Structure 1
Amino acid sequence: MFAVAAVAQSATDPLAGLHVGELDEPQTPEDWVSVDVVAAALNHHDLWSLKGVGLPAERLPMILGCDAVGHDAQGNEVIVYPVVSSPGWGADVTMDPKRSLLSEIYPGTLAERVRIPAGNLVPKPKGLSWEQAACLPTAWLTAYRMLFTNASVSPGDTILVQGAGGGVATAAIQLGAAAGLRVFATSRDGAKRELARELGAIEVFESGARLPERVDAVIETVGAATWSHSVNALRPGGTIVLSGATSGDAPAKAELTKIFFKQLRVIGSTMGTREELARLARFVADRGLEPRIDAVLPLAEARAGLERMAAGEVNGKIVFRT
């Protein structure tokens, strides 16, 4: 089976451990199903796996990838929900301490076929292209839960999206604007600021810039570099929703005094549920949203996509076609 896998790991040269080519096809566990992949999307998670973050070396080789769409055994068009719960878990899977993403314990989606629990399939709306639907299961689902489950915002409220240009940030801008939120966005890069404006932000700013007004919620994925700015940008009683820390998780100032004095809420957010993915897919299709796609490449050119991601040259999602 043709697949993209991590066969070795290096923090300084992650692509040295990348394999693109034929691999032995994994077995399908009992009560799991096989999906013929049509399109799969790249995430920073894949780069981290090649760096040795979150993927123990003893699990190598590991097929990479969390996002995929394709056909099930009956020929239905489906979206793969990539979170796998532990046996017997019946509550919100994002609260399962033993949950995993595809490509952490079980082989991932950057392959001709992927195996998944039978309950992890979501119908692909007819209004979405394969490439658009492939963008949804990780970055877009994370942004959807941050906004509509955890941020406690309503149409007309103002949000700040830190680090415009990343997959989650880009999705949050598009989803927020489509839902009637007033979206501010920041980036160090001028081109990414203009992209944020094109995607629906009403105002864009350099990172750390003073805002014209306080916001109701901050979508935070950058971490240490923007933490103080996020706290200072909030109105009293506002909310920071945190789903990542790409610049590090140890800010110079924790801002505890401001957090308790202004009665701010800090909410951690991770991925989303299968039901949220189904609602997200319907929302994107019904609103005619077009997830920002940086490039569509053949799966055989996965190395080129990962090279662009490692260089920070990606605006939106990279999608591979099998």
Structure 2
Amino acid sequence: MLAATAVSQSAADPLSGLVLRDVPEPTPRPGWSRVRVVASSLNMHDLWTLRGVGHPPERLPIVLGCDASGYDDHGNEVIVHPVLGDPDAGHGDETLDPNRALLSERHDGSFAEYLVVPTRNLVPKPQWLSFDEAACLPVAWTTAYRMLFTQARIRAGDRVLVQGAGGGVASAAIRLAVAAGAVVYTTSRSEAKRVEALSWGVRAALPTGERLPERVDVVIETVGEATWSHSLKSLRPGGSVVIAGATSGANPPADLGRIFYLQQRVLGSTGGTRAELVSMLRMLDATGVRPVIDRTLPLAEIHKGFQLMIDGELTGKLVIHPSATRQ
């Protein structure tokens, strides 16, 4: 079967290590299931792997891809929960298991016609959700859901700032927060992305770093160094910044004086649990909210997809179709 595989890593030229090649179809071991992948989607995690960030070179080669929707061997339509971990080891939360791994970190991922995962990681795909929409959810949307509702515990009427409107997690956070009745602000360097965000229901979409009309209760932060100071200045006393990424750099000035004097909270968040994915599906059913899909590409054009991500040309998610035959 054809698969997009990371064979080497380079911070300067990450796509030089991305190879399309034939690999054997995987065989599930006891307790695992095989999935025929109908749709997957790109995540920054895939790009970090190619850049050598957080992924040891001794784990190469490995098939990339963290998201998947498709059919199990019994013909059931499924979504793959991408966190492979033991809930018991994480006090009921597999994202807290010290030995957890995201799909494509220790096990081949979803940029292939087939993959295998623990059977526990399969979630039934609702009929009202397309395969393309379902493939957007496991990483970006579940990450955003956990940030908003598990970590920040937002409620209707809360003021929320989402930094970097165009990203997969950011676009998900905007859509989910608006659906929950929050007043949402967002920022972006791109005027086109700000205009797009207005159509999602934000109260205001501002250039990056511009002062907000009011201070917010919660900041959803995935950008890092470029927006960190603005995030803290935009936050009310006692408010929370929830961090799930740092695409512009992971070492911003701490500004500890502001944090302790205004009693601001800084909360880390990584991925989401299977239970959170299921809860989010119930929310999407109730609200009608669906993922923002920028475009779809066949697996053969995955290099183009990565380049669009590198260039910041995507708004929402880019979906990959690993098989030439789709149902």
TM-score over 0.5 for the alignment?
A: yes
Count of matched residue positions in the alignment of Structure 1 and Structure 2:
321
Deviations 1:107-147 (A, max 9, x none): 00111111000101111111111111110000000000000
Alignment check: 8 A CA contact 1:40 1:65 kept: yes
Q: 1:245 — aligned with what?
A: 246
1:249 deviation in Å? 1.6
Q: 2:312 — aligned with what?
A: 312
Deviations 1:179-234 (A, max 9, x none): 11110001111111111111221111111111111111000111111111111111
Q: Tell me how far apart the structure 1 counterparts of residues 208 and 74 of structure 2 sit (CA, whole Å).
A: 49
Q: Determine whether 1:171 maps to 2:155.
A: no
Q: 1:49 — aligned with what?
A: 49
Deviations 1:152-177 (A, max 9, x none): 32101110001110111010001111
Q: 2:182 — aligned with what?
A: 181
Change (3 A) 1:60 1:27: farther
Q: Tell me how far apart the structure 2 counterparts of residues 119 and 232 of structure 1 sit (CA, whole Å).
A: 42
Alignment check: 8 A CA contact 2:87 2:97 kept: no
Deviations 1:83-120 (A, max 9, x none): 11159736211111211111110000111111000101
Alignment check: 8 A CA contact 2:26 2:34 kept: no
Secondary structure, counterpart of 2:240 in structure 1: strand
Secondary structure, counterpart of 1:89 in structure 2: helix
Alignment check: 8 A CA contact 1:66 1:82 kept: yes
Q: Tell me how far apart the structure 2 counterparts of residues 89 and 121 of structure 1 sit (CA, whole Å).
A: 20
Q: Tell me how far apart the structure 2 counterparts of residues 229 and 101 of structure 1 sit (CA, whole Å).
A: 30
1:13 deviation in Å? 1.0
Q: Tell me how far apart the structure 1 counterparts of residues 222 and 123 of structure 2 sit (CA, whole Å).
A: 26
Q: Tell me how far apart the structure 2 counterparts of residues 27 and 12 of structure 1 sit (CA, whole Å).
A: 35
Q: Tell me how far apart the structure 1 counterparts of residues 66 and 7 of structure 2 sit (CA, whole Å).
A: 17
Q: 1:72 — aligned with what?
A: 72
- Kindly provide the amino acid, as one letter, of the partner of residue 292 in structure 2: R
Compare 116-125 and 81-90 and name the one that shifted more. Answer: 81-90
Q: Tell me how far apart the structure 2 counterparts of residues 31 and 152 of structure 1 sit (CA, whole Å).
A: 34
Q: 1:139 — aligned with what?
A: 140
Q: 1:150 — aligned with what?
A: 151
- Kindly provide the amino acid, as one letter, of the partner of residue 94 in structure 1: T
Q: Tell me how far apart the structure 1 counterparts of residues 288 and 195 of structure 2 sit (CA, whole Å).
A: 21
Alignment check: 8 A CA contact 1:81 1:122 kept: yes
Q: Tell me how far apart the structure 2 counterparts of residues 271 and 77 of structure 1 sit (CA, whole Å).
A: 22
Q: Tell me how far apart the structure 2 counterparts of residues 26 and 128 of structure 1 sit (CA, whole Å).
A: 27
User: What are the ranges of 5 or more consecutive residues in structure 2 without an aligned counterpart?
Assistant: none
User: What are the ranges of 5 or more consecutive residues in structure 1 without an aligned counterpart?
Assistant: none
Secondary structure, counterpart of 1:36 in structure 2: strand
Q: 1:222 — aligned with what?
A: 223
**What percentage of aligned pairs have identical amino acids?**
56
Q: TM-score, normalised by structure 2?
A: 0.95
Q: Tell me how far apart the structure 2 counterparts of residues 21 and 39 of structure 1 sit (CA, whole Å).
A: 18
Q: Tell me how far apart the structure 2 counterparts of residues 35 and 25 of structure 1 sit (CA, whole Å).
A: 11
Alignment check: 8 A CA contact 1:125 1:282 kept: no
Q: TM-score, normalised by structure 1?
A: 0.96
Alignment check: 8 A CA contact 1:158 1:182 kept: yes
Over aligned residues, Cα RMSD in angstroms? Answer: 1.4
Q: 1:7 — aligned with what?
A: 7
Secondary structure, counterpart of 1:132 in structure 2: helix
Q: Determine whether 1:106 maps to 2:107.
A: yes
Q: 1:211 — aligned with what?
A: 212
Q: 1:197 — aligned with what?
A: 198
- Kindly provide the amino acid, as one letter, of the partner of residue 50 in structure 2: L
